[in-house]
Amino acid sequence: MSDYKGFMKEKTAIDALIQDGYRIIAVKETLEGDFIEFERHLERKELHLLTADARKYIGTILIEAKRGGHIDSYGGAFEQAGAAGS
């Protein structure tokens, strides 16, 4: 799979979770990629990101969430995305 296709697959999965009301509660970086933990109410899901672009995308979401911005063009609201480690 090309890097672009891999990124688009991971971005779509991230956007779908955020659009469904999940928020990011934890980011664990490893040599095998990033593990992003999402939560909605008491339900949790984990997403394993392998592409550098998807990891940068998560970073952008978290930074904008800290700034109190909106993520409408990314498929949800930053308020829903939350912020890891806060």
Burial class, 1, CB count within 10 angstroms (exposed 0-12 / middle 13-18 / buried 19+): exposed
pTM over 0.85: no
Number of structural domains, the chain? 1
Domain annotation covers residue 22: yes
At residue 68, the pLDDT reads 79
Domain annotation covers residue 77: yes
The model's pLDDT over 28-66, given as tens digits with 9 standing for 90+, comes to 999 999 999 999 999 999 999 999 999 999 999 998 888
Domain annotation covers residue 14: yes
The model's pLDDT over 2-30, given as tens digits with 9 standing for 90+, comes to 889 999 999 999 999 999 999 999 999 99
Q: How far apart are CA 41 and CA 55, in angstroms?
A: 24
What would you report as the CA-atom Rg of the chain, rounded to the nearest whole angstrom?
12
* Domain membership of residue 45 as a residue range: 3-81
